[in-house]
Structure 1
Amino acid sequence: MKIVHVVYSLEMGGAEVLVAQLCHLQREHGHDVSVIAYSNLGTLGEKLLREGIPVLVLGEAPLPRTLLRFLKEFRRMRPDVVHCHNPAPTLQAAIPAKLAGTRSVIATRHSLVAPPYNRGEEIAFNFAARFCDWIVGICDATCENLRRTPGAHRNRIVRIYNGVDPLVPPPANTPAQRPGTTLLFVGRLAPIKNLSQLIQATANAIGHVPDLHLWIVGDGSERPALEAQVQTLGIEDHVTFWGERLDVAGFFCAADIFGMSSTSEGLPMSLLQAMSVGLPAIVTNVGGMAEVVRNAHAGLTAPVGDADQMTKAIVQLTSDPAQRELFRNNARTAYREHFTLEHMNASYIDLYQRRS
């Protein structure tokens, strides 16, 4: 099949990493795969080009002009499948794809789509989704939220869990595993990630676990405020900001616990990467990440904004090796059975070939 993935940009992010991995696997399976980005190429786009996967950047423009650009490209490319990732690409590409005669048009929502809804945005998305054969939610919570949006096409909404490649420890240039317990976060340093809760919980837990360390891998607008919080709490020796990294396998393999304190979350790639190497997780009780951690019995959850409960979870896991080992085994098993990239790709290929 000729498959075109449509994204807003290819800057580093969970959905973008997923798209890049999906492109590689679909190409390995013999499909003709390319990507169209609306805004800019980004770090991942540059990497895809180096690896021989075509990437076209349209450039930002008013919606009417963007629709015409997509129509022109789809008529030229004549894809069998157009797979739109998130609302803006769906709004921009779904209608032109159908007008160009594309057989299968898919839209995936990679977020939780949590209420309260932006009514205007959801009405616009659901209008564009009329031209999609299927709308994919990446966890049960996302699907349920999508069904409640104004104008939702409930009979076209299906769940496909995200999947990732298993992490393999790199041979060199990896952070050394240090004495004590290392708590790891990997992701964007954005307000929605609510990292201040994880940092506060770490500071609280140090009184009980003096050799606790927090590694923060990623970058974003919140980094200066988070660094200031670390200094104010006086825990600079316990927290390391590593910045944005393309290869994160070494961090996951050297850590002991994965932590995420988002206020809203679908099913983050970093959680699935952690599960692939058997890291137990401590996450806030939101969306797909809590859904997966609970169903897999692979970690502990805490309420959003409750640093004390997250502190208790950190102390509990660091002081109970038997529970950590149970969660490790459960995480690996759940990953192999439900969250591999192969499993996700097979579900999408089946969907590409199904009629709504």
Structure 2
Amino acid sequence: MKIIHVVYSLEMGGAEILVAQLCRLQREHGHDVSVIAYSNLGTLGEQLVAEGFSVLVLGEAAFAKTFLRFIKAFRRLRPNVVHCHNPAPTLQAAIPARLTGTRSVLSTRHSLVAPPYNPSEERAFNFVTRFCNWVVGICDATCENLKRIPGAHRDKIVRIYNGVDPVPPTPAESCPAKSGFTLLFVGRLAPIKDLSTLIRAVAIAVQRVPDLHLWVVGHGAERDHLDSLVSELGIRENVTFWGERLDVAGFFRTADLYCMSSVSEGLPMSLLQAMSVGVPAIVTDVGGMAEVVKNSNAGLATPVGDPEAMAGAILQLASDPDRRHALAENAREAYQQNFTLERMDASYIELYSRPS
């Protein structure tokens, strides 16, 4: 099967990591897999090129020019499947794929797609998905949100849970040095992640657990603001910003809890990575991450924007190793049953061949 994944770029991010892992597994299973990126190659794109994948970067341009570039690319490559990831790639590539005879055209929405909706964007997306066989939501919450949008093609919407490679074994010398009870966040430092709430929760909890530490792995526009907040709260010794790292395995294998305080979230790769090695989670009660944590009994969910509640959850689990152990076992079991990369890939391969 000849599969083309269409993305905005291959910079480091949850959806982009998923696409890169899916490419590798699909090629391993004998498929001819390539990627088209609209904007730029990015860190993950460079990795894929080094691994021998064909990655075509179109370059940003006016819509009409981009449309014609996709027509030309699909005529030349003749894919069986065009798999678009998120709205912009779908708007750009779905119609050219159908016009050039692609048998199966899919769009995956990797976010929560929570209201309030962007009316013009969603109207355009709903129009373009007439040319798609299927629209995939990455959790039940995403699918329900998609179905509520006026004009949605509800009969095309299906759920495929995200999957991810398990965190690999890591030599002890490659793991970061740890002292005390350690929380971990891995992801973009963006406003939607609301890391201010997590940092404020740490400032509250550290009053009862002085050796509490938070590791923040990632980069983004909020870094300076968050750094200033840490200083303002007087917890400089308790928070470490590690920047963007490709070698995150040691962090997952060392941390005691995984924490996310997002105001909106689909089903983040980092949460599934934590579950793969049995790290319990504390998350805000939104989207797919809360759905998964609650259904799997793999951690606790707290209200959005409530540092006191998050601090209470941290203290509750920090003081109860037996509870943490039970949550850890639940996390591992849920990952193996529902969130492996192999299970996700098998679901997509079946969908590529399913008549719409």
Same fold, TM exceeding 0.5? Answer: yes
Q: Residues 183 and 259 of structure 1 are in contact (CA less than 8 Å); yes or no, is this contact kept in structure 2? A: yes
For residues 188-207 of structure 1, the aligned pairs below 5 Å read: 188-207=188-207
Q: Single out whichever of 169-178 and 137-146 deviates more from structure 2.
A: 169-178
SS at match of 2:101: coil
TM-score (norm 2): 0.99
Whole-Å Cα distance in 1 between the matches of residues 188 and 173 of structure 2?
Answer: 22
Q: Residues 95 and 128 of structure 1 are in contact (CA less than 8 Å); yes or no, is this contact kept in structure 2? A: yes
Partner of 2:184: 184
Partner of 1:19: 19
Aligned residue identity for 1:227: D
Aligned residue identity for 1:286: V
SS at match of 1:135: strand
Partner of 1:80: 80
Partner of 1:232: 232
Partner of 1:92: 92
For residues 21-36 of structure 1, the aligned pairs below 5 Å read: 21-36=21-36
Partner of 2:343: 343
Displacement after TM superposition at 1:172 (Å) = 6.6
Q: Residues 6 and 89 of structure 1 are in contact (CA less than 8 Å); yes or no, is this contact kept in structure 2? A: yes
Partner of 1:246: 246
Partner of 1:126: 126
Q: Residues 283 and 300 of structure 1 are in contact (CA less than 8 Å); yes or no, is this contact kept in structure 2? A: yes
Instruction: State the Cα RMSD in Å.
Output: 0.8
Displacement after TM superposition at 1:139 (Å) = 0.2
1:271 aligns with 2:275: no
Shift in CA distance, 99/173, structure 1 to aligned 2, threshold 3 Å: farther
List gaps (5 residues or longer) in structure 2: none
Displacement after TM superposition at 1:180 (Å) = 1.6
Whole-Å Cα distance in 2 between the matches of residues 251 and 8 of structure 1?
Answer: 28
List gaps (5 residues or longer) in structure 1: none
Displacement after TM superposition at 1:177 (Å) = 4.5
SS at match of 1:262: coil
Aligned residue identity for 1:251: F
Q: Residues 136 and 157 of structure 1 are in contact (CA less than 8 Å); yes or no, is this contact kept in structure 2? A: yes
TM-score (norm 1): 0.99
Displacement after TM superposition at 1:170 (Å) = 2.8
Whole-Å Cα distance in 2 between the matches of residues 174 and 226 of structure 1?
Answer: 27
Whole-Å Cα distance in 1 between the matches of residues 247 and 175 of structure 2?
Answer: 12
Shift in CA distance, 14/173, structure 1 to aligned 2, threshold 3 Å: farther
Whole-Å Cα distance in 1 between the matches of residues 178 and 11 of structure 2?
Answer: 31
Whole-Å Cα distance in 2 between the matches of residues 177 and 126 of structure 1?
Answer: 49
1:7 aligns with 2:13: no
1:104 aligns with 2:104: yes
Deviation string 1:176-197 (CA, Å, 9 cap, x unpaired) is 3523210000000001000000
Q: Residues 20 and 44 of structure 1 are in contact (CA less than 8 Å); yes or no, is this contact kept in structure 2? A: yes
Displacement after TM superposition at 1:151 (Å) = 1.2
Displacement after TM superposition at 1:173 (Å) = 5.9
Whole-Å Cα distance in 1 between the matches of residues 249 and 329 of structure 2?
Answer: 19
1:42 aligns with 2:62: no
Aligned residue identity for 2:316: Q
Whole-Å Cα distance in 2 between the matches of residues 219 and 181 of structure 1?
Answer: 23
Whole-Å Cα distance in 2 between the matches of residues 51 and 246 of structure 1?
Answer: 16
1:57 aligns with 2:54: no
Displacement after TM superposition at 1:265 (Å) = 0.1
Displacement after TM superposition at 1:119 (Å) = 0.5
Whole-Å Cα distance in 2 between the matches of residues 95 and 176 of structure 1?
Answer: 48
Aligned residue identity for 1:190: A
Partner of 1:327: 327
Whole-Å Cα distance in 1 between the matches of residues 171 and 56 of structure 2?
Answer: 34
Aligned residue identity for 1:92: Q
Partner of 2:135: 135
Whole-Å Cα distance in 1 between the matches of residues 172 and 28 of structure 2?
Answer: 27
Whole-Å Cα distance in 2 between the matches of residues 341 and 13 of structure 1?
Answer: 17
Aligned residue identity for 1:229: L
- Percent identity (aligned): 72
1:301 aligns with 2:297: no
Moved over 4 A (4+): none
Whole-Å Cα distance in 2 between the matches of residues 151 and 245 of structure 1?
Answer: 41
SS at match of 1:167: coil
Whole-Å Cα distance in 1 between the matches of residues 175 and 181 of structure 2?
Answer: 14
Whole-Å Cα distance in 2 between the matches of residues 172 and 73 of structure 1?
Answer: 46
Q: Residues 119 and 150 of structure 1 are in contact (CA less than 8 Å); yes or no, is this contact kept in structure 2? A: no
Partner of 2:316: 316
Aligned residue identity for 1:298: A
Q: Residues 186 and 218 of structure 1 are in contact (CA less than 8 Å); yes or no, is this contact kept in structure 2? A: yes
Whole-Å Cα distance in 1 between the matches of residues 139 and 112 of structure 2?
Answer: 8
